[in-house]
Structure 1
Amino acid sequence: MRFKILWLLVASSVVAQNKKPIELGLQLENDSFVSTYNDFYYTNGTFLFGNYVSDKTTTEQKRIHGFRIGQQIFNPRWVKATNPENHNRPYAGYLFAEYSVTKMNRSNSVKAMTFQLGVVGPDSKAEQFQDWMHASFGFGKIYGWEYQIQNTLALQYGLTYSKPIFAKVTSDYLDFQLYTKSDLGTVFTGTNFGILTRLSLSKPLTAMSNSNFYNGLGTAPKECYFFVLPKINLQVYDATIQGSLFDHKSVVTFDLKPIRFRGEAGIKFKYHHLNLSGSFVYTTDEIRNNSATGYYYGSVISSYVF
């Protein structure tokens, strides 16, 4: 609750001081959006965010400043197992605050940097939030959080870069972008690369520098397109699976599978000031454990641009 109040205060201050477009929104990620049966591994994410156009924006480059507060929750496959030997993934929670700056060039290339500060472990309050959510919706009691990944400080830096490719087959209704994203920090270290495809479902595509895919805060009144983003993920370190870099206090930890596939597909929609998005995300197995499998979840985003 304290983080929501802080986020609202920051957003109100930005709105009061900045006359350029400002976006406020909510993103929810949950495996139950796709299937109530597959309730495991990455099981829930809640994010509050705000974005605004920088005063340093020019005709050649738009700069977007962003703020986000988020919590992510991870479970093993069997959440009724009291014996930690039956946990094929650690219980873990990640709570963070994020600042980002995104540079969108007239050439439609995008470069975004993110900085996160937070905590993995009991101080993330993931156990309490999941207990409340399961009690509220009748999902039943969860056992095993006492074996969760222990507290570790989260310091993260991320870099995303995207640029147009396949110009010869690009049209007003179809485009492609080379996508790369790298993370370095005490929680996640790895890199992703893939190809983003956008296919318009109505009018010609909005330029990437104004599109809602990267929160471009553009002036186009309407936007509706299907997107697909298959990625190869090279993962070096994941504290929610391997535990802290600084100690070995966590009881249940596993080694990573360094190479995995991640795919995302969905629809993004804009109608004047309202942005809506729904997507399906799939990840192959992440852990060197015979019983661990790939998993999937749904993501929904709603925002309003003032």
Structure 2
Amino acid sequence: MKVLNQIYFTILLLILGLFSNSITAQKIENNGIHRHILKESYFRLSFDNDFFAHSDDNYTQGISLEIADPIFQKNPVNYLFLNYSENKINGISIEQAAFTPEVISSKEIRYGERPFAAALYLKSFQLNINHKKQSVLYSSLSLGVLGPLAYGEEGQVFIHEATGNWVPYGWRNQVNNDVIINYELNHEKKLFELSKFVTVYSDLGLRVGSLFTDASIGYTSTLGVFKSVLNQNQPGKFQLYFYHNPKLIVVGYDASLQGGLFNNSNPYTIPFNDIYKIKAQVDYGLVLKAGFLYLEYTRSFITKEFRTGTLQNWGGIRLGFKF
């Protein structure tokens, strides 16, 4: 069975690897074996923006402030998470994501392009580490707002005015206010090591709620000096590695395209029949961990999400500190 699992995921690796030249990841994604920090207490700032890819459309910006500490073990939300192991890391984050069409300076609706949309939410999360099974389970619950109350317009206008770029007038046509309630599970398991410096992990994800509802399957490979949270008794004070994380996603609902579940009075959205139900994504990047410091540069690509859409790409940086 172990050999069959290796063969299966090797085939999956090869299939998904074919996409890596044309596509690639989840918006503001802080979970993942390649991003876990080997400490119960840490702070991390994440910033995604499409200017890293010399563009200004689709998923245009994401910001996350994340903190983990044993004090969050008393968070009542934790009762909603699966008890996968006794070794847990708990925390919260506040995240904002903004989405725009290809032309942001137009005051008129850009039919056939992505609608303006913004999301702001508080996320409670828990990471379960199972050394015996060599796997981790990430669970999270997000509560927040979609629409003008998420202040996507104010954030983008401020940045564009400060840098002398086009003023994004089209936010007057953004998706209207609605409630965000989203639950997420992500399971990763160590599959095999190809050498001392190359490791491959499975990556299975599920999101259900009013912002995103989808399921994903993929893998994560790391190349370099890497000590994951599964490496028991190996603190790995210095780590430097490259990661590659492709996946296929089956889409059920996307409020950034379709609008919220509870408020249908939107100026413009993408019809459900025009949304592609299967898409492919790839993340890749470089991570440095040294002492208390976490530093990451990432690039992401994703296939067309709807019939008249375009390929998307963006980049991001993450800065974290253990304490």
TM bucket (normalised to shorter chain) is 0.7 to 0.9
Partner in structure 1 of residue 227 of structure 2: 206
For the residue of structure 2 that corresponds to 1:129, the secondary structure is: helix
Q: Does 1:102 align with 2:119?
A: no
For the residue of structure 2 that corresponds to 1:249, the secondary structure is: coil
Q: CA deviation at 1:53?
A: 5.1
Q: Does 1:246 align with 2:271?
A: no
Q: Does 1:32 align with 2:31?
A: no
CA distance in 1, matches of 2:123, 2:296: 21
Q: CA deviation at 1:138?
A: 1.0
Q: Report the residue type matching 1:108 in the other structure.
A: Q
For the residue of structure 1 that corresponds to 2:124, the secondary structure is: strand
1:61–1:220 distance in 2 versus 1, CA, 3 Å: farther
Q: Which moved more, 1:38-47 or 1:103-112?
A: 103-112
Stretches of structure 2 that go unaligned for 5 or more consecutive residues are 1-38, 74-84
Partner in structure 2 of residue 150 of structure 1: 176
Tell me the alpha carbon deviations over residues 137-188 of structure 1, each in whole angstroms, 9 at most, x when there is no partner.
11121121111000110001000000011x3x53321111110111000111
Provide the alpha-carbon RMSD of the alignment: 2.1
Partner in structure 1 of residue 35 of structure 2: none
Task: Write out aligned runs for 1:132-151 (5 A).
Answer: 132-151=158-177
Task: Write out aligned runs for 1:48-63 (5 A).
Answer: 48-52=65-69, 61-63=86-88
Task: Write out aligned runs for 1:80-229 (5 A).
Answer: 80-86=105-111, 88-106=113-131, 107-165=133-191, 167=192, 169-200=193-224, 203=225, 205-209=226-230, 219-229=235-245
1:246–1:55 distance in 2 versus 1, CA, 3 Å: closer
Higher relative contact order (CA 8 A, sep 6+): 2
Tell me the alpha carbon deviations over residues 59-92 of structure 1, each in whole angstroms, 9 at most, x when there is no partner.
x852110210010000001112222144611100
Q: Report the residue type matching 1:298 in the other structure.
A: G
CA distance in 1, matches of 2:66, 2:102: 30
Q: CA deviation at 1:191?
A: 1.1
Q: CA deviation at 1:219?
A: 3.1
Q: CA deviation at 1:54?
A: 7.7
For the residue of structure 1 that corresponds to 2:195, the secondary structure is: coil
Q: CA deviation at 1:121?
A: 0.3
CA distance in 1, matches of 2:72, 2:315: 35
For the residue of structure 2 that corresponds to 1:144, the secondary structure is: helix
Partner in structure 2 of residue 3 of structure 1: none
> Is contact 1:230–1:261 with CA below 8 Å preserved after alignment?
yes
For the residue of structure 2 that corresponds to 1:240, the secondary structure is: helix
Count of residues paired in the alignment: 270
CA distance in 1, matches of 2:110, 2:198: 49
Q: Report the residue type matching 2:162 in the other structure.
A: S
CA distance in 2, matches of 1:161, 1:21: 19
Q: TM-score, normalised by structure 1?
A: 0.83
For the residue of structure 2 that corresponds to 1:146, the secondary structure is: helix
Q: Does 1:305 align with 2:322?
A: yes
Q: CA deviation at 1:34?
A: 2.1
